[in-house]
């Protein structure tokens, strides 16, 4: 595996994404919408609340911060659909496969081109979120609420794993569909378990550091399990002879 | 440059390519002809190590087919124009070539020089910065050929380079192929355009899952149809036919109206004998010609015979 070769593929794909307005808007709108929207909501709630916010505010903040995980599952599916199904539609995969680049290098290159902007978007949005929340709640808590252990685990452990899983799912789905929209729709199924966790967190589940670590372990297992399938799917001969 | 023995590819129960043996020399332009579904693209994909072989062996540009360690070395030395050009439409011509040059690890100075030379050669230099989506089909095809040449490969595979092009664009591409031929590049051309093969290729092979025949266009013509001399006479009589047969021995002589068709081995030696026999038998010759079967005739005959046999 030559990372420099993979990086050539990644750089090219990143340059292609810059031409796609839909991708850019998605990458900015979702994380920064969450990063601005929830602090605005907190501001409204705090201004209207007369009770002790330290009792209930952490529960809200934990739930809000989980939206960055949901975003990190949905954003890569859009980008990966353009990266893989887009190339499949434009028939540019065969020339790419005929170059002295291994399947693994192409896969890593394409994966990086999806992983890096998604991570940058989510981290950017979450940084804005944490800054604004700290500004609003410093007087409430008497200290800076962020960064804390849960947010660090969420952003540096769970989010990267969720992005990886979404990329793997997108690659596998890309071999079975013939248009970008279908690829996005099928791959977005990966968001469903996260939505369930989010809903459960409102009712029965406490979204604390322990829960996040358990979830990270589950996602790591899923990432490893899908890795072999992804490699088998993104195989030169498979792409040229079996992909729809 | 290319040597294969019994190259076979099966997809489940379907045999796409069956026991193809080829020898293609350096600097040769070889054309693989065949109808749709004959296995031409599969053959090219095996030869370029894009897909594995089911059986048989082969060596391309000094690299063994099916050997994992040779696959990258092989792809570094060859250029491929697939049937679908697959360009990045939103990118410029220059960016398309630059990306592939980088993937082939061409050093930046050489890459710039190659891109300029190729775009000049293809007549696209003036439009190097324009998005490819604004190009005509012919221009896109030429750019795709330039992409296959950006790393200066020793062997070029072209899969149906003029398919789906209008006559003007096809001529544009054919002229480019003739220029490449003059550069003495080894070219493996997949086509079902027989006129193109006849004009460009040194040798052709006709494939219908199996390689039906191989040779230069003129060799194939005489191999399949033999060489004939046609003589138009004022009147064909039994005595003239008998005289020609007597002079040339067992040769096949056919009569159709005032036309006498005689199978010959060496026209330079046989034609004067035929003329002398006719004149001696009292015949008057209006015209004597050496009609050549076209590659199309050869192709259709072999494909139909194979179709009937199958």
For A70-104, how does the pLDDT look when each residue is reduced to its tens digit (9 = 90+)?
A: 999 988 888 888 888 888 888 898 999 999 999 99
Q: Which residues contact A234 (CB under 8 A, 6 or more apart)?
A: A103, A106, A107, A171, A175
ipTM rounded to 2 decimals:
0.84
| Mutate which: A13, A19, A89, A99, vs B, most B CBs within 10 A | A99
* Alpha helix stretches (DSSP H) within chain B: 40-47, 68-77, 93-103, 108-121, 137-149, 167-182, 194-200, 217-225, 238-248, 267-280, 295-309
Please indicate whether, in this complex, the C-beta atoms of A100 and B76 are within 8 angstroms of each other.
yes
Closest CA to B290 of B307, B274, B278, B279: B274
Asked if residue B154 lies in contact with residue B125, where contact means CB atoms within 8 angstroms, the answer is no
**CA nearest neighbour of B302 among B235, B212, B222:** B212
**Could you read off the pLDDT tens digit of each residue along chain B, which spans 310 residues?**
899 999 999 998 899 999 999 999 988 999 999 888 889 999 999 999 999 999 999 999 889 998 888 989 999 999 999 988 899 998 999 999 999 999 999 999 999 999 999 999 888 999 999 999 999 888 898 899 999 999 989 899 999 888 777 787 788 788 888 888 888 889 999 988 888 888 889 999 989 899 988 988 877 777 766 678 889 999 889 899 888 888 877 778 888 888 888 888 788 888 898 899 999 999 999 999 877 667 777 777 777 776 666 5
How crowded is the C-beta side of B52, counted as CA atoms within 13 Å? 11
- How many contacts (CB atoms, under 8 Å) link A and B? 68
Contact assignment for B100 to A90 by CB distance below 8 Å: no
Average pLDDT, chain A: 88
B88 CB contacts (<8 Å, ≥6 apart)? Answer: A16, A90, A92, B95, B96, B99, B132
Confidence class for position A182, pLDDT limits 50, 70, 90: confident
Q: Please write the tens of the pLDDT for every residue from B219-276.
A: 777 776 667 888 999 988 989 988 888 887 777 888 888 888 888 878 888 889 889 9
Using the beta-carbon criterion (under 8 Å), do A98 and B80 form an inter-chain contact?
Answer: yes
| Residue-level pLDDT at A114 | 93
Residue B153 pLDDT: 92
Closest chain B C-alpha to A122 CA, distance in angstroms: 27
Decide if B11 touches A, using CB distance below 8 A.
yes
Contacts of B53 in chain A (CB under 8 A): none
Residues from chain B contacting residue A93 (CB–CB below 8 Å)? 86
* Rounded average pLDDT over A137-164: 92
> How far is the C-alpha of A177 from the C-alpha of A187, rounded, in Å?
11
| A2-29 average pLDDT score | 89
Closest C-alpha to B33, from B194, B187, B225, B173: B194
Rounded to an integer, the average pLDDT of A137-165 is: 92
CA distances from A190 to A166, A184, A217, A226 (A): 7, 11, 16, 13
End-to-end CA gap in chain B: 32
| pLDDT at site A108 | 93
pLDDT value at position B307? 66
| Binary contact (A95, B50; C-beta < 8 A) | no
Q: Is the pLDDT of residue A20 over 70?
A: yes
Radius of gyration (C-alpha) of chain A in whole angstroms? 20
Question: Which chain B residues contact residue A3 at CB under 8 A?
Answer: none
**Residue B266 to chain A, least CA–CA distance (Å):** 47
Tell me if chain A has a CB within 8 Å of the CB of B43: no
Q: Output b/e per residue, B97-115; b: 16+ Cβ within 10 A.
A: bbbbbbbbbbeeeebeebb
CB atoms within 10 A of CB B261: 14
Query: Residue A219: which H helix or E strand, with range?
Result: helix A209-233
Contact between chains at A240 and B50 (C-beta distance less than 8 A) = yes
CB–CB contact B84 A91 (8 Å):
yes
What residues contact B52, with CB distance under 8 A and at least 6 apart? Answer: A237, B46, B66
Cis peptide before A147 (omega within 30 of 0): yes
Other Cβ atoms less than 10 A from the Cβ of A97: the count is: 22
Q: Which of B90, B103, B140, B144 to mutate to test the interface with A (most CBs of A within 10 A)?
A: B103
């Amino acid at each position: 595996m030559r990372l420099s070769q993979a990086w050539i593929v990644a750089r090219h794909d990143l340059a292609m994404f810059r031409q796609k307005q839909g991708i850019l808007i998605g990458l900015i709108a979702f994380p920064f919408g969450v990063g601005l929207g929830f602090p605005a909501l907190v501001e409204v709630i705090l201004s209207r609340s007369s009770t002790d916010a330290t009792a209930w505010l952490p529960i809200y903040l934990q739930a809000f911060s989980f939206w960055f995980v949901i975003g990190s599952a949905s954003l890569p599916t859009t980008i990966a659909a353009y990266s893989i199904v887009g190339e499949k539609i434009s028939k540019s995969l065969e020339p790419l496969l005929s170059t002295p680049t291994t399947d693994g290098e192409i896969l890593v290159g394409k994966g990086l081109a999806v992983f890096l902007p998604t991570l940058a978007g989510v981290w950017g949005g979450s940084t804005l979120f944490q800054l604004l929340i700290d500004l609003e709640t410093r007087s409430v808590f008497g200290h800076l609420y962020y960064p804390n252990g849960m947010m660090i685990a969420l952003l540096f452990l769970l989010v990267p794993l969720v992005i990886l899983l979404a990329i793997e799912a997108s690659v596998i789905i890309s071999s079975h569909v013939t248009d970008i929209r279908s690829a996005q729709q099928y791959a977005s199924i990966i968001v469903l378990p996260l939505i369930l966790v989010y809903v459960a967190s409102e009712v029965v589940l406490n979204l604390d550091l322990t829960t996040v670590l358990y979830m990270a372990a589950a996602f790591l297992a899923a990432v490893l399990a899908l890795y072999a399938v992804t490699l088998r799917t993104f195989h030169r001969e498979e792409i040229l002879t079996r992909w729809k | 440059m290319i040597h294969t023995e019994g190259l076979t590819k099966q997809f489940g129960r379907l045999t796409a390519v069956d026991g193809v043996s080829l020898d293609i020399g350096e600097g040769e332009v070889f054309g693989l002809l065949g109808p749709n579904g004959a296995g031409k693209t599969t053959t090219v994909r095996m030869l370029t190590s894009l897909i594995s072989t089911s059986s048989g062996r082969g060596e391309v540009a000094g690299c063994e087919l099916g050997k994992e360690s040779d696959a990258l070395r092989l792809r570094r030395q060859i250029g491929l124009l697939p049937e679908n050009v697959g360009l990045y439409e939103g990118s410029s011509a220059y960016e398309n070539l630059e990306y592939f040059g980088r993937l082939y690890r061409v050093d930046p100075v050489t890459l710039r020089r190659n891109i300029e030379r190729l775009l000049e050669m293809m007549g696209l230099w003036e439009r190097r910065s324009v998005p490819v989506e604004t190009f005509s089909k012919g221009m896109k095809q030429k750019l795709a050929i330039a992409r296959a040449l950006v790393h200066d490969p020793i062997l070029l595979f072209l899969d149906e380079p003029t398919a789906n092009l209008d006559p003007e664009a096809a001529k544009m591409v054919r002229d480019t192929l003739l220029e490449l031929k003059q550069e003495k590049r080894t070219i493996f051309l997949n086509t079902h355009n027989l006129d193109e093969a006849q004009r460009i290729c040194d040798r052709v092979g006709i494939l219908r899952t199996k390689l039906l025949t191989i040779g230069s266009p003129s060799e194939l013509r005489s191999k399949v149809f033999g060489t004939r001399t046609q003589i138009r006479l004022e009147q064909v009589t039994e005595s003239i036919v008998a005289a020609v047969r007597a002079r040339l021995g067992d040769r096949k002589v056919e009569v159709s109206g005032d036309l006498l068709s005689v199978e010959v081995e060496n026209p330079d030696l046989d034609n004067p004998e035929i003329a002398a026999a006719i004149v001696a038998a009292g015949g008057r010759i209006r015209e004597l010609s050496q009609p050549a079967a076209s590659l199309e005739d050869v192709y259709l005959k072999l494909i139909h015979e194979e179709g009937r046999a199958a």
